[in-house]
Structure 1
């Protein structure tokens, strides 16, 4: 990927692409000079020069101690918050999500699609003091999350299958403990969700956590985001998921209307 970008880019942009590749490699878990060099396909000397410049600019931080290595720097945190604040959807949706969170006392999420993943762009913790692994900036497989399934509602079944298989492979590679339903069960549930305009997460993403989600549409009727209400199983029996469904769908519809959508 980097080599392709280098070949297509003007000579002066090659260092920029390589620097961005370094940041992406560290974001994906590469820590040592050797790991980062291997991830971006550059020599150690070139990688070291890129890292030194990024550390100086605050985009990376050098770790002390015997292990050494690098992690994302404070400048990226600053830019991340600015990017989220400038995202019209997050700003527009926030007051509606806040009301939904107060009404349900549960955690409310907002997410968008990024390739085969859902990217969480907003999270409002509930008032029950529960902890769940979701966070702003986290990416999870579309087919394994409530929000992700809502983002998939308008897709063809062949696309459901491809995203289901992709999510299952990711789960296997990460040795996740949450149960993944069979394709037949997943497909039948998605058919029900598509006809009802909502989706559920029945501990598919995280053991002990359930959620109900609904899609958000733009003026053209396209699904551009989704929101969910999530809580631990003791507070979220299946009956309550269905009780909350109209409220969640209504909140998504209000946000959609602000984006110009009309049923």
Structure 2
């Protein structure tokens, strides 16, 4: 209980300090001046103060057993946050860099929570859960509906439509939309929420109706319908197969 409480409190503190108490001017200053940015030090100070407050309250609640560990934990959070943010300032500022940045911060907080609560079984428990057969079935299902399904659908469309290609669209937009669509559909299937699946297909149809009705090209309408039906069919097949494996 103490481990979960401390971890979620540290995560809340991180979210507040990183996304609510950090103005965009601080972010721009860090990305421009890197380790020389004065606003970076203010940001790290806010993070350290927030973490110190959370750790102090947690230690006070559990009886001030070892306050030196609280000081050490706060120092670790401050130093690692500074180093991670400096490293991010030299990155390309894309989604991947953002995700790695946040993951690194969360791993530090996880390690701090494990250290202060002497909870060494958490990692072993997570690994045990990840290696369960049902977890692997679900993982394979999601992997199948992403790139492999995109390749299969593209090959089928090229074969059926003889290389027909849309013009004026964002490069790779159709593939990205299809992947997100299949992830959502597979999630609905695994949760046994087929009503959500129907809602997703209906919502997509409504959004595409204007484009298709305005288009004079019958091929475009057929192309979109084929792509949608193939995407739904592949995801239904994968989702039902995973559900069957999970039950049996």
TM-score when normalising by structure 1: 0.34
TM-score when normalising by structure 2: 0.36
**Structure in which a larger fraction of residues adopt strand:** 1
Q: Rg: which structure is higher?
A: 2
